[in-house]
Amino acid sequence: MDFTRDTAIFIDLENVYYGLKKYHMDPDHPETHHNLFLRLQEYYGKDSIRMMEAYADFEQMDLSMMSLQKKRVHVNQVYGNGREGKERKNAADIQLCLDAMEVLYQIPEITTFVIVSADQDMIPLLDRLWSKGKKVELFSLWDESLSKSSQIQEFCDQSHNILEFINIEKMNDYAQIDRIMHNAVLQIYEWYRDPNNIGKSYGSTWIKNDLARKFSLSELESNHLFTRLVKGKYLLPYEIEIDEKIFYGYKVNLTHPQVQMIVKIAGYKVS
């Protein structure tokens, strides 16, 4: 049987990696039905895929380049600014767009372009590919990280929810609370890592206000979340003396196994 290798897949892996990290999921998951790359091969068929390109600063992520290469994924090392969190700049999307445009004009037999990213900067690329008569499919995370005003899904022939595609069950209320708890722990941990907060104490009132603002919680929900963190010993009381005055606050409990896991998944070392 003859197969036409007419599909090109471009993965903004940095975008996907940090998006899935919120769900404590690895895109290169050991189980096949949760593994993004194996699911893409299954969905489109190995013999129809001309190329599968993944872009990221692999030095900043806990992913095995060799593991991806064994899955017939071509890895593209794109150096970022080396920072973490909000200061991190994703340069992978730029290289992805350049390579996709090169394929568009140099390999005309590619009829299907698959873009894996939730970055709205991809809209010009999607529009250009579609306007040239190519079939364009998009995979993105359909959660709060995708802006409600985003029009990215309107610039493709078909869009897919990565969460469903790699068989992550839609979170129930308990799972949602659990994820917010994990993100709250990380928020408090990173507050103390901020150089601007050296020698300061993160008080309960400030913590509750910040949690309410960051996670869109009511005052009652924020108080309930804080209480769960303290009762579960995710947080421990902390005090500091400044100018002969004692200030009270809370720090994350780094001896707690769950806290250690949260911090490690976020890319920090637990000493």
pLDDT at 1: 43
Kindly tell me if the per-residue pLDDT of 69 is higher than 90.
yes
Sorting pLDDT into bands at 50, 70 and 90, what band is 144?
low
Q: Is residue 11 part of a domain?
A: yes
Q: From 165, 199, 221, give the residue that closes a domain.
A: 165
Which of 37 and 177 is assigned the larger pLDDT?
37
- The percentage of the chain sitting over the pLDDT mark of 70, rounded to a whole number, equals 87
Q: Which sign does the torsion angle of CA 174, 175, 181, 187 carry?
A: negative
Q: Is residue 24 part of a domain?
A: yes
Same domain flag for 85 and 157:
yes
Total structural domains within the chain = 2
Q: From 134, 149, 165, give the residue that closes a domain.
A: 165
Same domain flag for 33 and 143:
yes
64: containing domain: 7-165
Same domain flag for 20 and 141:
yes
Same domain flag for 179 and 257:
yes
Out of 2-6, 125-129, 193-197, 201-205, least confident range: 2-6
- The percentage of the chain sitting over the pLDDT mark of 90, rounded to a whole number, equals 47
Q: How far apart are CA 81 and CA 268, in angstroms?
A: 17
pLDDT at 86: 43
Q: Is residue 270 part of a domain?
A: no
CATH number at residue 206: 1.10.10.10
Kindly tell me if the per-residue pLDDT of 143 is higher than 80.
no
Same domain flag for 142 and 226:
no
State the alpha helices, DSSP H only, in the chain.
13-21, 36-44, 65-70, 92-106, 123-131, 162-165, 173-193, 204-214, 219-231, 257-265
For residue 252, the 8-state DSSP code is E
Same domain flag for 149 and 257:
no
pLDDT at 172: 43
Kindly tell me if the per-residue pLDDT of 145 is higher than 60.
no
Same domain flag for 193 and 160:
no
Same domain flag for 50 and 120:
yes
Tens of pLDDT, residues 153-208: 778 899 999 988 998 764 444 456 677 888 899 999 999 999 998 888 899 999 99
Same domain flag for 181 and 204:
yes
pLDDT at 240: 82
Q: From 137, 165, 193, give the residue that closes a domain.
A: 165
pLDDT at 171: 44
Stretch 24-43: mean pLDDT, rounded? 90
Tens of pLDDT, residues 74-104: 999 998 655 554 444 567 888 999 999 999 9
Q: Is residue 189 part of a domain?
A: yes
Q: Is residue 1 part of a domain?
A: no
pLDDT at 89: 54
Same domain flag for 110 and 192:
no
pLDDT at 169: 64
Using alpha carbons, select from 25, 6, 8 the residue that is nearest to residue 16: 25
Sorting pLDDT into bands at 50, 70 and 90, what band is 146?
low
Same domain flag for 247 and 123:
no
Give per-residue burial for 40-65: e unless 16+ CB within 10 Å, then b: bbeebeeeebbbbbbbbbbebbebee
Instruction: Read off the amino acid at residue 76.
Output: N
Same domain flag for 183 and 147:
no
Q: Is residue 250 part of a domain?
A: yes
Q: Is residue 57 part of a domain?
A: yes
CATH number at residue 86: 3.40.50.1010
Kindly tell me if the per-residue pLDDT of 151 is higher than 70.
no
Q: Is residue 271 part of a domain?
A: no
Q: How far apart are CA 85 and CA 196, in angstroms?
A: 16
Pairing of strands 112-116, 135-140: parallel
